Structure 1
Amino acid sequence: MLIKAEDLASIIHSGTAPVPKVLDVRWHLGMVNARKNYDDGHIPLSVFVDLDRDLSGRPAMVGARHPLPEPEVWAETLRSWGLDNDSHVVVYDESGGTVAARAWWMLRWAGLRSVRILDGGWQEWTRLHLPVAVGPGNPVWPGTFQFVGPSMPVVDADGVAGCSGDGKSLLDARVQGRYTGKEGAQIDRRLGHIPGAKNMPALDLVSDDWTLRPPEEIRSVLAARGVQSPEDAANTAAYCGSGVNASFLVFAMEYAGLPGASLYPGSFSEWGADLSRPVEAGA
């Protein structure tokens, strides 16, 4: 599920088959020009991915900020990146994998099986002084990908309403201040969290060097939130503000041997926009 920077560099340099398609998913909330990051420097042969445009359907006037695209629209995007159904893919970001995981989840959702995240991301690549390309990137020959999903568990707002208690868990991947509604800018229509959710900040599973924490540490952190076994994981749903960092919780859980968690793609941006749904504030 992870690949080391030096291993990816070796594969790209040697051309050893299969050379993976590399997707650059560097993005953060409020970013104005993600393309400039890519043009200024990126992993050779990587394809620029715009999270707002490519990893999201068109948001409604009020509702989810990053809704899932329609399957055929998503399949066309994958074809434009040169992907086939048997492609091997590596995704990277500069956020410890917490953003790249959105691409990982969506690729898996569409039916791709060989998808890995670059451990340590862009920071690790540049720390090791590995080759960097600049400019708009190379032309891509269109692929033949066909959507064969959905292959990842998804839950909607109505399903989330029953995802706490009776052996079920609901995890909120946002930073604590946004979970409590006490700190940070008001990004969504309301402040706080979905009732019954436990705060599990995605970045708590990332080490200081931006690599993913070891599986045993991830399991320990999740156990404190009541997720201790694969059965617990299968009864867990994850959300965040718009379905990005929550994808990382799903990834980290699977990496740690706790697969099967569901993603709530609409997340709090969708939940909070519906004024008929309750919201809690505080810890």
Structure 2
Amino acid sequence: MKTACFMPVFCLLLSASGAGDEIRYAKPQLLMEPEELARPAVAPHYVILDARKREAFETEHIPGARWVDHDAWRAEFEDGKDPAAWSRRIGDLGISSDSQVVVYDEGKDTYGARIWWTLRYWGLEHVRLLNGGWHRWQLLALPTNSEAAAAVPAAEFRVTARNQRLATLDQVLDSLKENGWQIVDARTEAEHCGIDLLENQRGGAIPHAKNLEWTAMFDPETKQLKEAAEIKRLLNAAGIDLDRPTASHCQSGGRGAVMAFALELMGAEHVRNYYRGWSEWGNLETTPIMVPPASQ
């Protein structure tokens, strides 16, 4: 076990600094600060999930963390199929319906956010992301463990699909006809504008989609979520309304999960993740596409 000294956390502010009219995160309970999780009185109350690559986890991890196979979860979700398998998969991590969970990744948060979103979709209520992830944990020189993780007993977990968290192709198409959901594209501008097709047959964007790249949510040095006032400014600049029912998307669910997390953190109540995203939309011949001009 490696240990490090760190200052006690006297006050944890999950808000923008300022006067009495400061903008705060509407749902700060979705985040866990590293200094808080490192407290001996706090960590035992949480199941800590490490969503990094297995080799990274086995080299060093947060004490007590359990490795979760992000790549397998990504491949197996398939729009919420096979709930019995998901009950076993989640339960095998020692997670029960009343568990409190903290998820972290390298600090880029697409892996962590996907695990967060998947757990929330399957009905787990108390799930947080570690603010700044492993990157921030190391910057603060908090305790780490390089020993092999102990086996944990499986728990009983029965999934309850929260379909209001998922958007499907047909639902997005219907929403376009009815001018319903606000579509938020978390991909890069180059993807949104059809310049970077990745490996898709078609490039561009879902009609009327608002583009805000997922990386804009984070401080590039600390990997922490930006302060609430700055996130609010970014949302306003992109024309994103927190009060409108929203479907976020990217290529295949991860960046869309980051955006869904950020929108919920800021107070949005009705946010779906179009999980299949452009990997589906951009490879069909019948889906409508717009090709916005790139900014100069």
TM class by smaller structure: 0.7 to 0.9
2:243 is the alignment partner of 1:200: no
Letter in 1 for 2:203: L
Corresponding residue for 2:265? 255
SS in 1 for 2:253: coil
Greater shift, 84-93 or 272-281, is seen at 272-281
Instruction: Provide the C-alpha distance between the structure 1 equivalents of 2:162 and 2:43, rounded to a whole number of angstroms.
Output: 28
Seen in structure 2, the aligned counterparts of structure 1 residues 7 and 88 have a Cα distance that, compared at 3 Å, is: same
Seen in structure 2, the aligned counterparts of structure 1 residues 274 and 228 have a Cα distance that, compared at 3 Å, is: closer
Asked if the contact 2:31/2:130 (under 8 Å) is kept, the reply is yes
Corresponding residue for 2:4? none
Instruction: Provide the C-alpha distance between the structure 2 equivalents of 1:249 and 1:180, rounded to a whole number of angstroms.
Output: 19
Q: CA deviation at 1:18?
A: 5.5
Instruction: Provide the C-alpha distance between the structure 1 equivalents of 2:241 and 2:49, rounded to a whole number of angstroms.
Output: 32
Seen in structure 2, the aligned counterparts of structure 1 residues 155 and 36 have a Cα distance that, compared at 3 Å, is: same
CA deviations on 1:2-45 (whole Å, 9 max, x unpaired) are: 111111111xx34x58521111112xxxxxxx211111211111
Instruction: Provide the C-alpha distance between the structure 1 equivalents of 2:64 and 2:163, rounded to a whole number of angstroms.
Output: 28
Corresponding residue for 1:173? 186
Corresponding residue for 2:144? 132
Q: CA deviation at 1:237?
A: 0.9
2:260 is the alignment partner of 1:241: no
Corresponding residue for 2:75? 56
Letter in 1 for 2:193: T
Instruction: Provide the C-alpha distance between the structure 1 equivalents of 2:81 and 2:35, rounded to a whole number of angstroms.
Output: 33
Q: Which among 110, 113, 120 is matched to residue 101 of structure 1?
A: 113
Seen in structure 2, the aligned counterparts of structure 1 residues 70 and 170 have a Cα distance that, compared at 3 Å, is: same
2:229 is the alignment partner of 1:216: yes
Instruction: Provide the C-alpha distance between the structure 2 equivalents of 1:111 and 1:215, rounded to a whole number of angstroms.
Output: 27
Q: CA deviation at 1:152?
A: 4.1
Structure 1 segment 1-283 matched on structure 2, within 5 A: 1-10=30-39, 13-14=40-41, 16=42, 19-26=45-52, 34-57=53-76, 67-134=79-146, 136-150=148-162, 152-164=164-176, 166=179, 168-183=181-196, 186-208=198-220, 209-230=222-243, 232=244, 235-283=245-293
TM-score (norm 2): 0.81
CA deviations on 1:228-281 (whole Å, 9 max, x unpaired) are: 342x1xx21111000111111111111111221111111110112222223333
**RMSD of aligned residue pairs (Cα, Å):** 2.2
Instruction: Provide the C-alpha distance between the structure 2 equivalents of 1:133 and 1:238, rounded to a whole number of angstroms.
Output: 36
Corresponding residue for 1:31? none
Asked if the contact 2:186/2:255 (under 8 Å) is kept, the reply is yes
Q: CA deviation at 1:178?
A: 1.9
Q: CA deviation at 1:194?
A: 2.1
Asked if the contact 1:163/1:170 (under 8 Å) is kept, the reply is no
TM-score (norm 1): 0.84
Seen in structure 2, the aligned counterparts of structure 1 residues 128 and 54 have a Cα distance that, compared at 3 Å, is: same
Corresponding residue for 1:63? none
Asked if the contact 2:218/2:224 (under 8 Å) is kept, the reply is yes
Letter in 2 for 1:227: I
Aligned length in residues? 262
Gaps of 5+ in 2: 1-29
Asked if the contact 1:97/1:118 (under 8 Å) is kept, the reply is no
Letter in 1 for 2:225: L
SS in 2 for 1:187: coil
Asked if the contact 1:169/1:226 (under 8 Å) is kept, the reply is no
SS in 2 for 1:238: strand
Letter in 2 for 1:44: P
Letter in 2 for 1:36: E
SS in 2 for 1:170: strand
Asked if the contact 1:38/1:135 (under 8 Å) is kept, the reply is no
Instruction: Provide the C-alpha distance between the structure 2 equivalents of 1:69 and 1:137, rounded to a whole number of angstroms.
Output: 30
Q: CA deviation at 1:195?
A: 2.6
Asked if the contact 1:18/1:88 (under 8 Å) is kept, the reply is no
